[in-house]
C-alpha cells in the first residue's frame, strides 16, 4: 500500500491529479458522510462501484486495492460478531455443551452491509491519498485562509503515513529474523505480541519527527510571511460540477433517510 500513497500523484499528470485538492476532499467527505448515514445496499453498492470505477478507469496502480487486504479480515470479524450478537431471524443453532450458538440471518446481512460501508470508506480515503499531490494540498488549504505552518503540518502528517507503514514492515522483518513472528500465532495472542512492534515503531517515529523539525529550523521554515510556490493548483469547470454534484448527492441521501424514518 505504501507504494501507492502519493507516488502516483507525483509521477503522473492527468485529469485525476489535476483536480483541485479541495474538490477531491469534498468528494471523499461526501461519500464518507453518505456511507456513515445509511445501510442501504443500493447506495453503498453504488458508492463501492463508483470507487472501483475511478480506480479502473483512472488507471490507478493496482496497489491501491491492497487496502482491501487489511480491511477484509476486519470485515469478516464484524460479520461474525453481528451474526452471533443479533437475535432476529435465527437461521441456525450450534449446540456447544449446555449452550447453543444462535446464528442470525439478519446479523449476517447487517454485518455484510457494515463490511460494504468499511470498504467504501477505505477505498475513498485511499483514492484521495493516491491522486492528491501533498504540495498542492498544502497550497490549497493555505489558500482557504489557514496559516501556512498549520497547512503544512496537516500535509506532513499525511506524508508520515507511508513512512510509518514502511517502517512497520522493516521492524516486523527484523523481529521475524530474530524468531519473533506474530503471523504464526492465534488471534488472541497476536494482540499481545504486537507490542514489541509498536514500541520501536513509536521510537523511530519520534526520532524521525525530531530530525524533520531540526531540518525545518535550519531552513528557516515560516520565517517570512511572503511565500512562493513551486507547484500550482488548477480550478476548472469540472471542479465546480463535481462539487455541486457531491453536495446534491449528500442532500438527496440525507433526505431519503429522513423520509424513511418518517
Which residues face 92 on adjacent strands?
103
The pLDDT score that the predictor gives to residue 93 is: 78
187 vs 79, which has greater pLDDT?
Answer: 79
Query: Which residues, at least 6 apart from 89, have a Cβ–Cβ distance to it below 8 Å?
Result: 104, 105, 106, 107
- Runs of H (alpha helix) within the chain: 7-11, 15-18, 21-37, 41-57, 67-85, 105-131, 134-143, 148-177, 187-193, 195-218, 237-261
Question: Structure pTM?
Answer: 0.75
CB atoms within 10 A of CB 251: 11
| Dihedral, CA of residue 159, residue 29, residue 231 and residue 242, to nearest 10 | 150
Task: For residue 103, report the phi and psi dihedrals to the nearest 5 degrees.
Answer: -100, 125
* pLDDT given at position 10: 67
Per-residue pLDDT tens over the stretch 116-150? 888 899 889 888 888 888 888 888 888 888 887 78
pLDDT tens digits, one per residue of 47-91: 999 998 988 888 888 777 777 776 777 777 888 888 888 877 888
> What pLDDT, on a 0 to 100 scale, did the predictor assign at position 262?
63
Amino acid at each position: 500500500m505504501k507504494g501507492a500513497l502519493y507516488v502516483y500523484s507525483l509521477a503522473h499528470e492527468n485529469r485525476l491529479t489535476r483536480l483541485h485538492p479541495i474538490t477531491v476532499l469534498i468528494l471523499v467527505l461526501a461519500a464518507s458522510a453518505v456511507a456513515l448515514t445509511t445501510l442501504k445496499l443500493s447506495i453503498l453498492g453504488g458508492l463501492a462501484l463508483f470507487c472501483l470505477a475511478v480506480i479502473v478507469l483512472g488507471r490507478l496502480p493496482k496497489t491501491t486495492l491492497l487496502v482491501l487486504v487489511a480491511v477484509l479480515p476486519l470485515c469478516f470479524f464484524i460479520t461474525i460478531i453481528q451474526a452471533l450478537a443479533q437475535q432476529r431471524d435465527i437461521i441456525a443453532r450450534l449446540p456447544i455443551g449446555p449452550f447453543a450458538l444462535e446464528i442470525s440471518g439478519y446479523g449476517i446481512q447487517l454485518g455484510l452491509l457494515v463490511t460494504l460501508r468499511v470498504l467504501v470508506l477505505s477505498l475513498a480515503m485511499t483514492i484521495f491519498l493516491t491522486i492528491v499531490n501533498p504540495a498542492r494540498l498544502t497550497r490549497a488549504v493555505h489558500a482557504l485562509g489557514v496559516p501556512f505552518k498549520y497547512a503544512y503540518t496537516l500535509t506532513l502528517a499525511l506524508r508520515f503515513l507511508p513512512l510509518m507503514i514502511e517502517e512497520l514492515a522493516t521492524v516486523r522483518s527484523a523481529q521475524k529474523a530474530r524468531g519473533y513472528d506474530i503471523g504464526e500465532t492465534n488471534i488472541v495472542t497476536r494482540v499481545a505480541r504486537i507490542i514489541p512492534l509498536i514500541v520501536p515503531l513509536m521510537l523511530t517515529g519520534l526520532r524521525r519527527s525530531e530530525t524533520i523539525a531540526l531540518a525545518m529550523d535550519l531552513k528557516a521554515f515560516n520565517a517570512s510571511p511572503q511565500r512562493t510556490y513551486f507547484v500550482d493548483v488548477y480550478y476548472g469547470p469540472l471542479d465546480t460540477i463535481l462539487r455541486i454534484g457531491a453536495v446534491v448527492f449528500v442532500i438527496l441521501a440525507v433526505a431519503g433517510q429522513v423520509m424513511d424514518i418518517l
